[in-house]
Amino acid sequence: MQFDYGHMEEGQLSRPYNMRLLKRLIPYSRPYRKPIVLAMVLTISITLLELALPYLPKVAIDRYILSRWYPVERHVAERDLQDDFNRKYGHLVVETEKPGLGFISSENMKRIDPGDLRRYHQGGLVSKESFYRVSLEAARKYGLSGPEGLTKAQGSYLYVPSEALKGLSPDQIMALRHRDLMGLLLIGLFLVCLVGGSVILNYWEYYLLERSGQNMMLDIRMDLFGRIQRQAVRFFDRNPVGRLVTRATNDIENLNEMFKSVLITVFKDIFLLTGIIVVLVYLNWRLALISFTLVPVVFVTTLFFSTRAREVFREIRRHIAAINAFLQERLSGIRVIQLFVQERSQLKGFEELNHRNYLASMRQIKIFAIFMPFMDVFSAVGIGLLIWYGGGKVIGEQLSLGSLVAFIGYMQMFFKPIRDISEKYNVMQSAMASMERIFGLMDQRDVIQEPKTPKLPQGTKGSVQFKNVSFSYDTGFPVLKEVSFHIEPGQVVALVGHTGSGKTTTINLLERFYEFENGAILFEGLDIREWNISELRSRIGLVMQDVFIFAGSVAENISMGDERTDAKLLERVAKQVNAHRFIRRLPGGFDHEVKEQGISLSAGERQLLALSRAMAYDPTLLILDEATSSVDPDTERLIQDSILKLSKRQTTLIIAHRPSTIRTADKIVVMHHGRIVEQGTHQELMGLKNVYYRLNLLHEPEH
Amino acid sequence: MEIEQGLLLIDGIPVHDIDLADLRRSIGFVTQEPHVFSDTILENILFGREGIGDDLIKTVLEASHMASEIDSFPQGIYTHVGERGITLSGGQRQRLTIARALISNPPILILDDALSQVDTRTENAILNAVLEMRPGKTTIIVSHRLSTLGKADIIYVLESGDLVEQGDHKTLLATGKEYTRLYERLQLAEELEGVR
């Protein structure tokens, strides 16, 4: 037997194969295209917000904290230099009321090419002396004055030499630099707003994606269940229930995991990575290139570790599968273990498996324990490089301090997406394996072929004809050989035979649970392959030996969800099959809740319920497959009585290995080793003194 | 399970007084449902028991009519069976579990319908070999086959939990009571099986 617990090892899937699997998800995502696209737009917005965060300190530092102004005196410089400056950097200058005198902020100074700046300094065009821009009112109060001939800058500001502020108290400086302080406050508020905004956007992004993902999984699960339900019985012979359950639960959960964690984070990470690169290059492309020297190293390291991690990951899955299989097998064979007094050796075997799993898990932990610090080291090296190289640039006035701070901030953000992407690979792999299994199951076509234009005979009463039907479950061993018999409308026909003679198979074919190759079966004079399957099955009431009772009310178990079955019909049907007495005795009557598998009911009561269920559909043919073989004598009498009543008004096929129950049948068909060996009435067959006769002797009541 | 009433003695000692592990070690029990583990054939037969010589393994395999089949398997006795190996038929599994029980040569061997999926002729041969291997030792056979009945020293006839008759085949048949009826019924069933 094949066991499968959803922990199967994953094989290596090739890339085109991956793409083909992913493509199959597209139809499922189609109904949720809008929320998914919206979520992606949100993702992009969130990334932009996140990208803005390290930029704000830069603005705070450069524009406000370290804000200095340098005088630009164009009238003193030579004409050529003047024109050159005006053309290139004129727009950076804030003019004053004194013609030719302007000021340029330290932030804007960084935009001037270092070579140009040197020439301007030499030509006396740009002064090296730094000024603060202070509020005019405060300057007057503290007796400060600006450059000569300049009493008033544009607006209500005054430029005063940096030196002039040195002797002042902190309070006085704060008052003078009121404008800078206000700027810092605004940036602080803005930062909080950005984070607040990103929290809200994150909520919606998560909500939309999760909702779409859950909906998609629901659809896939529904689709899977729908397809499984339509499969022929042969499919269920091949696929153990445990495997099907795993497909519909674990594997779909894996898929969901991939959808939300992989597709989303990877998309987000790639976007974030690109954003960081763009911002870094914009801030200072030289420094950006220096920072990027680490990327190949990080990439190779990540690849190395993720490959190792993947191997170990697979190994762990293998061990877990082995543990599962071991437990399953040993627990189902517990009697053998106890009989042979092998508890200790089994414990040892189990310990070995567990230990191997432990070792593999430890290897995984070690890999991550090395990998994570490695990434931290790279991150530190990157920041070290920035401090050394970038710090030098700051000293050389080629880079603002704020830019350096922003760089460091972005560098810290830079490594997380790389790590994320490598980590998600495992999830991706297991999801791919799950997807392969889900779609593999969906693709299995054991569906019974339905006719394109089913025919529907009218006004018939249950005639059945088997014409030379042969069948084998698995190629090779034939279960039915050239079976031919006839049931006339209104007849009671019995099918008897030793265990394994093919009686139940006959019914399986009639109900179209299995496809058969040779011969033909006619129901109501029409080949069953031309019937609509649901129509066919609803006309045949089948009561089996093992009755399946669903958890639910008695009424639901009889109507099987058919809304046409009302209380009156239930009452009538129950009376018809002698079930009403026991149902009335149940607390709540028809509304009595039956436990799963009907454990609260006796075998006979379950049988009566099944009989009611079959009759509720008002079938034209009633089949009783060993319906009374495991029932107490009292209930058996009840059932026999109802069968007698029923068989008087409709066509009935009774299957039995005990001939005692079918003596009064209109016709008895005797099966033996897949063949029909005798047909006739009880008297006729007894006269033959062959198979039926011997069956009777074998099963005659003892004592 | 515990006995509610009466006594069950093994070599004169009540089973309650025997250490459970010792008790189970002294009884080889082959059930109708053969349980085979996903392991090699050898490990399935040895089943954790150590210090068993190759000769004994060979004898046991011969007795359970596994030897020639095992030779045809890819890795012989080291062939994996079950989930990750070859799939054994019901009869092969039953014979494998008989080999498992024989290897410890227990003082008491119980075969509970243990060869139901083996054809009659092979069953006969296996039973002969098993009995030959165990001179002077107790073997309890639960069977629905006529051929098995002739081999027994004593046949106990159970009827709905009651012991109704006991004796050897001939004596029981001569009394013409429950055993005779059962015998005829079995004969009839086997005859019926034979009808083509």
Q: Which of B35, B83, B192 sits opposite A698 (nearest CB)?
A: B192
- Least confident window among A410-414, A508-512, A641-645: A641-645
> Does residue A702 carry a pLDDT above 50?
no
Residue A340 contacts B, CB cutoff 8 Å: yes
Provide the 3-class DSSP secondary structure of residue B14: strand
Q: Does B47 touch chain A (CB under 8 A)?
A: yes
**B101: helix, strand or coil:** helix
Q: What's the rounded Cα separation, in Å, for the pair A442 and A135?
A: 76
Total structural domains within chain B: 1
Flag if A333 and B37 touch (Cβ within 8 Å). Answer: yes
For A337, name the nearest residue in chain B, comparing CA atoms only.
B47
Q: Where are the beta strands (DSSP E) in A432-588?
A: 464-471, 480-487, 492-497, 518-523, 526-527, 540-543, 552-553
Which carries the bigger pLDDT value, residue A151 or residue B74? B74
Chain A nearest-CA residue for B50: A345
Alpha-carbon distance A410 to A267, whole Å?
A: 19
Q: Is residue B24 less than 8 Å (CB to CB) from chain A? A: yes
Would the pLDDT of B26 be above 50? yes
Nearest-CA distance from A692 to chain B in Å?
A: 10
Q: How confident is the model at residue A352 (pLDDT cuts 50, 70, 90)?
A: very high
Confidence bin at A2 (pLDDT 50/70/90): very low
The answer to whether the Cβ–Cβ distance between B47 and A691 falls below 8 Å is: no
Which residues are CB-neighbours of A138 under 8 A, at least 6 positions away?
A: A172, A175, A176, A178
The C-alpha of B67 sits at a distance from chain A's nearest C-alpha, in angstroms, of 23
pTM, rounded to two decimals: 0.68
> Which residue has better confidence, B160 or B100?
B100
Q: Do A332 and B100 touch (CB under 8 A)?
A: no
Residue at B195 is within a domain: no
Cα A582 to Cα A603: distance, rounded to the nearest angstrom: 12
The pLDDT, as a whole number, for residue A475 is 56
Query: How many angstroms separate the first and last alpha carbons of chain A?
Result: 43
**Mean per-residue pLDDT, A481-497:** 89
Task: Inform me whether the C-beta atom of residue A702 falls under 8 Å from chain B C-beta atoms.
Answer: yes
Residue B161 forms contact with A (CB below 8 Å): no
In the block, which residue shows the tokens 């000021």? A103
Taken in order A80, A83, A84, A90, is the CA torsion positive or negative? positive
- What phi and psi, each to the nearest 5 degrees, are found at residue A687? -65, -30
pLDDT (0 to 100) of residue B83: 62
Q: Tell me, yes or no, whether B31 lies in a domain.
A: yes
Q: Which B positions 67-106 lie with beta carbon below 8 A of chain A? A: 82-83, 97, 100, 104
Q: What is the pLDDT of residue A290?
A: 87
- Residues in B touching A497 (Cβ below 8 Å): none
Which residues from chain A sit within 8 angstroms of residue B193, using beta carbons? 498
CA distance A491 to A666: 6
Distance from the Cα of A544 to chain B's closest Cα (Å) equals: 25
Residues of A in contact with B192 (CB under 8 A): 498, 672, 691, 694-695, 698
pLDDT score, position A150: 60
Residue B126 within any structural domain of the chain? yes
Whether the predicted pLDDT of A600 surpasses 80? no
Q: Which residues of B touch A659 (CB under 8 A)?
A: none
pLDDT, residue A3, reads: 37
What pLDDT digit, counting tens, does each position of A139-191 carry?
778 877 766 656 555 567 788 888 877 878 888 888 888 888 999 999 999 99
- Return residues 475-504 of A near B (CB < 8 Å): 498
**Whole-angstrom distance, CA of residue B145 vs CA of residue B123:** 10
As a three-state string, the secondary structure of A337-365 is HHHCCCHHHHHHHHHHHHHHHHHHHHHHH
Q: Which helix (H) or strand (E) holds A277?
A: helix A264-283
In B, which residues are within 8 Å of A330 by CB distance? 37
* Tens digits of residue pLDDT in A623-671: 988 776 666 777 777 777 887 787 777 888 988 766 666 777 889 999 8
* Contact at CB, A336 and B189, closer than 8 angstroms: no
Q: Name the CATH superfamily housing domain A464-699.
A: P-loop containing nucleotide triphosphate hydrolases (3.40.50.300)
SS3 B109: strand
Tell me the residue type at A674. G
Residue A16 has pLDDT above 60, yes or no: no
Q: Hey, what amino acid is at A689?
A: K
Q: Which of A333, A345, A694 sits opposite B191 (nearest CB)?
A: A694
Instruction: Look at residue A9 in the predicted model and tell me its pLDDT.
Output: 39
Whether chain A has a CB inside 8 Å of the CB on B144: the answer is no
Predicted local distance difference test score (pLDDT) of residue A474: 65
* Residue B192 touches partner A, C-beta closer than 8 Å: yes
The mean pLDDT of A395-413, rounded to a whole number, is 88
Q: Find which of A1, A9, A337, A340 to mutate to test the B interface (most B CBs within 10 Å of its CB).
A: A340
Does residue B35 sit at the A interface (CB-CB below 8 Å)?
yes
Crossing angle between the packed helical segments B54-63 and B90-102, to the nearest 10 degrees:
140
Starting at the edge strand found earlier in the chain, the sheet holding B108-112 runs B27-30, B108-112, B138-142
The span from the CA of A348 to the CA of A333, in Å, is: 16
Please check whether residue B196 lies inside any domain of the structure. no
Cα–chain center distance at A535:
36
Least confident of A160-164, A618-622, A696-700: A696-700
- A18 vs A613: which has the higher pLDDT: A613
pLDDT surpassing 60 at residue A8: no
pLDDT tens, position by position, A322-335:
888 888 888 888 88
C-alpha distances out from residue A223 to A33, A170, A439, B171, Å: 19, 73, 11, 68
Least CB–CB distance from A340: residue in B47, B82, B191: B47
Spatial separation of the C-alpha atoms in residues A266 and A277, rounded to whole Å = 16
Tell me if chain B has a CB within 8 Å of the CB of A668.
no
Res A612 pLDDT > 90 = no
- DSSP summary character for residue A126: B
Q: Where are the beta strands (DSSP E) in A492-551?
A: 492-497, 518-523, 526-527, 540-543
Q: A702, A650, A688, A692: which is closest to A671 by C-alpha?
A: A692
Percent pLDDT > 90 in chain A is: 15
* Contact check, Cβ <8 Å, A1/B181: no
What is the reported pLDDT for A315? 85
Higher-pLDDT residue of A577 and A392 is A392
Q: Cα–Cα distances in Å, from A186 out to A77, A192, A400, A666?
A: 39, 10, 21, 99
**3-state DSSP call for residue A379?**
helix
Please name the member of B29, B48, B196 whose beta carbon is closest to the beta carbon of A342: B48
What is the reported pLDDT for A4? 38
Establish, for the pair of chains A and B, how many residue pairs have beta carbons separated by less than 8 Å: 60
Rounded to whole angstroms, how far apart are CA atoms A508 and A393? 86
Chain B interface includes A672 (CB < 8 A): yes
- Inspect the interface and report whether the beta carbons of A691 and B192 lie closer than 8 Å: yes
Say which range, A32-41, A302-311, B94-103, has the weakest mean pLDDT: A302-311
Put simply, whether A695 touches B (Cβ < 8 Å) is yes
Q: Which of residues 294-313 of A touch B (CB under 8 A)?
A: none
Contact B24 A673 (CB under 8 A): no
pLDDT at A1 over 50: no
B90 is in which domain, residue-wise? 9-152
Task: Choose among A34, A36, A28, A9: nearest CA to A221.
Answer: A28
* Contact status of B195 with chain A (Cβ, < 8 Å): yes
* Helices assigned H by DSSP within A167-177: 170-176
Look at residue B66 and tell me if it is in a domain.
yes
CA-to-CA distance for A371 and A307, rounded, in angstroms?
12
| Chain-chain contact of B38 with A329 (C-beta, under 8 angstroms) | yes
- Indicate the domain borders of chain A: 15-51+211-443, 59-182, 464-699
- Residue A219 has a pLDDT of 93
Contact at CB, B47 and A342, closer than 8 angstroms? yes
Segment A525-564, tens digit of pLDDT: 888 888 888 888 888 888 887 788 888 888 888 888 777 7
The confidence score (pLDDT) of residue B84 equals 63
Would the CB atoms of B31 and A340 count as touching at under 8 Å? no
Range A15-51+211-443 has CATH code 1.20.1560.10: yes
Q: Is A331 on the interface with B (CB under 8 A)?
A: no
Tokens 């029923």 -> residue: A646
Q: Tokens 């990434």 label which residue? A: A375
Is residue A239 scored above 90 in pLDDT?
no
